[in-house]
Structure 1
């Protein structure tokens, strides 16, 4: 049944076009978003995230977990009803089924009919498209972890690797079975979020709700009955709200575990109310508290929403900070402690350092090192620079000598700066350390 919420559901389903089309976006000479697990690199447009930056992944997971919690607390299982891949793929499979086999009555009639050429043709076409959607789902998933054009080339030549083949096969089987056959049973019996989100809902949560005050007692419309003679509520007991529910929930019995808040029952009820000449909104988005008292607690007065929002802000701020400070190259400096310093024959003091350079670029680059510190400082070990492998940490040992006359304290600051270039872009990173001399 069509309606405002059904249309909104289709629009929200289009969110998953990013899943299918995202791997084909290009950035410079590579895929725009590529989770390269074998090389331990995540490429997100111009940023390359290595294992050293995976603390941002923890914040990202925290952000989405709390986002799920706050949305559920405010408006129920919006994720389940409008965005969940199980819901979306089931909608697509059901839509394809209706195109080939018709509505529920026609489908039941076709299933009960003997196997004829026409029945085999219809069933074969439907299942072939189901398998095609499942295949594209599997390929699209793998394409986020392997260059999409390379993957398609391997598939066409039947040269796909074992890991790619296994994952595509798993997605074909999973999508075909879950969306084609299990459907709402996956929501009721397999999905843990049904239980988790159920306990996040309270009396102030806005949900598709049946107005029991206005609707009860239920009763059929009697022919030629005048409005003033009516002894029943607005609910005409047509059961359309149950018929359109993906999980078969009767919303008139209150909030239940199977309700995924997709709001299709609202469309069904409003259509019936318009036909019988009664006001719409018998089933509407409303909180239980709003039905009972006539008003709901404002959002800004709900403490848990403020707590959730604070955690969301913290996680998002950390992610933004991490991405904004993400450099193409990174430097760490380790001072050798055995010994802390060495006195040279000319009276100068020498310290030993290990420079660890993390190259986040997609190519090997040449690194130049500059040391700044006490007057007369000289660095050896990297006068002509050195090569840093892409996606790896490259260590380099350098020695720094300072005339003893330039040392005014036992410990003095020293700064190392590394630079490299790629095309017309110049990248640099600095790190401070200490230069240690004899006690004064």
Structure 2
């Protein structure tokens, strides 16, 4: 390293020490102004944030003349591209929720609170809000100075612009949430003409206010005091979990860089006590004190420390992802020996297989047969026995279809009331009444099995069947 470069780096280190005087653990008494440092993990974090673009843009995707993904609560049906899921198929939703719950457990067991650090909506929205604040008000020192400055035209302009942008994002969040439950383009028309329903206005208001307060003001305090995940994460990690960790064996004893001291004569560890790892932390914790409840494993401290190590010409990785076993110098436990992870993965696989099976076997038509109980049967004047049935036909498609009803199971059985096709209305249950008549001498017992069939006239693939019973006199 040249002498000129060393002077530049020394000036940068002196600046870091000056910044460090402002950083300490915050318990809610003041706003944390986290420093934004570029780096690999900051880029990964932006990619994680970008996943939420699906939340904002998803409702505008069209499919077959309608919104591609629509959770229609009033009609009790979920449209997911060409698939329509009705309440009768909601058992798949339970399996899907189980899958994601265990996915969270597996990811936590492997790499800690990766959800909190890179994907959680509170983290993402707070990151966007603080980015706006950083663009408008400047770096942390400038923001603190602006907070203490008297109100003037400049401060008023900056504050109004910031809060206006915050409110726009918050309002878009509320509108985007509502758009998943009603047609997005119709929703915008109703909002523009002030004709949206009371429920829509309440949803938008709640999400606007909640986003504005949580991301704009509470920030890390929501992670500390409101989030239950922060409380239970301690039992979800173990010694083999890879977490952002300070390598104390390499970093201690800490010591500030002394002017003119060469690396060969240094008596301190690699940590120069610049506090940059604390400065960039969105929750204000000091990773050098070990794992803490406030750490959301966002890895921004890794970028900050690596930047300082680069300035000093030292190896990166003083703070890095590693397990407690690795930190203690032990050999990491192989993944195949971590039984808890495999149990979680096995249950996840079963849940996902159940969802896949449900989707693959979901039929467009579903038939339910209700046997009349009062009376169970009627003796006809010609000696035959008659049973009455109510057929409930569930059409899971979005269009009406004409279905033909038939039955089988007994000799000389006559189906009455199904001479004409029945119109099964789209996404609704259509009920119709039919009768079965069987000569008494054909009945071998007082209860016989019969099967009802329905199929679409235009497309034989749309069909369903349901078994029922035919009841006659005791023999």
Give the alignment's TM-score, normalised by structure 2: 0.88
Determine the structure 1 residue equivalent to 2:468. 433
Shift of 1:410: 5.1
Shift of 1:32: 1.1
Whole-angstrom CA distance in 2 between matches of 1:61 and 1:121 = 45
Shift of 1:438: 4.9
Question: Which of 301, 311, 329 is the aligned partner of 2:347?
Answer: 311
Greater displacement, 39-48 / 411-420 = 411-420
Question: Which of 348, 355, 358 is the aligned partner of 2:391?
Answer: 355
Q: How does 1:105-124 map to 2 (within 5 A)?
A: 105-124=141-160
What SS class does the counterpart of residue 167 from structure 1 fall into? helix
Determine the structure 1 residue equivalent to 2:262. 226
Q: How does 1:17-32 map to 2 (within 5 A)?
A: 17-32=53-68
Count of aligned pairs between the two proteins? 439
Whole-angstrom CA distance in 2 between matches of 1:38 and 1:341 = 39
Greater displacement, 249-258 / 351-360 = 351-360
**Contiguous gaps of at least 5 residues in structure 2:** 1-36
Determine the structure 1 residue equivalent to 2:381. 345
Whole-angstrom CA distance in 2 between matches of 1:425 and 1:16 = 42
Question: Which of 268, 292, 295 is the aligned partner of 1:259?
Answer: 295
2:406–2:418 contact (8 Å) kept in structure 1: no
Determine the structure 1 residue equivalent to 2:422. 386
What SS class does the counterpart of residue 109 from structure 1 fall into? helix
CA-to-aligned-CA distance 1:318-360 (integer Å, 9 cap, x gap): 1111111212221012333444443333233322222121222
What SS class does the counterpart of residue 397 from structure 1 fall into? strand
Determine the structure 2 residue equivalent to 1:85. 121
CA-to-aligned-CA distance 1:18-75 (integer Å, 9 cap, x gap): 0001111112122111111112111111122222222122212211111111111111
Question: Which of 184, 190, 210 is the aligned partner of 2:226?
Answer: 190
Question: Which of 38, 57, 62 is the aligned partner of 1:2?
Answer: 38
Determine the structure 1 residue equivalent to 2:78. 42
Whole-angstrom CA distance in 2 between matches of 1:134 and 1:199 = 34
Whole-angstrom CA distance in 1 between matches of 2:217 and 2:466 = 59
What SS class does the counterpart of residue 196 from structure 1 fall into? helix
Greater displacement, 177-186 / 105-114 = 105-114
Whole-angstrom CA distance in 1 between matches of 2:298 and 2:431 = 56
Shift of 1:112: 2.4
What SS class does the counterpart of residue 462 from structure 2 fall into? strand
CA-to-aligned-CA distance 1:65-86 (integer Å, 9 cap, x gap): 1111111111100000000001
Whole-angstrom CA distance in 2 between matches of 1:271 and 1:425 = 67
Determine the structure 2 residue equivalent to 1:131. 167
Q: How does 1:22-421 map to 2 (within 5 A)?
A: 22-407=58-443, 411-420=447-456
Whole-angstrom CA distance in 2 between matches of 1:112 and 1:5 = 32
CA-to-aligned-CA distance 1:111-159 (integer Å, 9 cap, x gap): 2223222222222221111111111111000001111011000011111
What SS class does the counterpart of residue 344 from structure 2 fall into? helix
**Contiguous gaps of at least 5 residues in structure 1:** none
Determine the structure 2 residue equivalent to 1:16. 52
What SS class does the counterpart of residue 367 from structure 1 fall into? strand
What SS class does the counterpart of residue 227 from structure 1 fall into? coil
Shift of 1:187: 0.9
Shift of 1:248: 0.6
What SS class does the counterpart of residue 416 from structure 1 fall into? strand
Where does structure 1 differ by over 6 angstroms across 4 or more consecutive aligned residues?
Answer: none
Whole-angstrom CA distance in 2 between matches of 1:300 and 1:217 = 37
What SS class does the counterpart of residue 293 from structure 1 fall into? coil
Give the alignment's TM-score, normalised by structure 1: 0.94
Whole-angstrom CA distance in 2 between matches of 1:373 and 1:210 = 74
What SS class does the counterpart of residue 229 from structure 1 fall into? coil
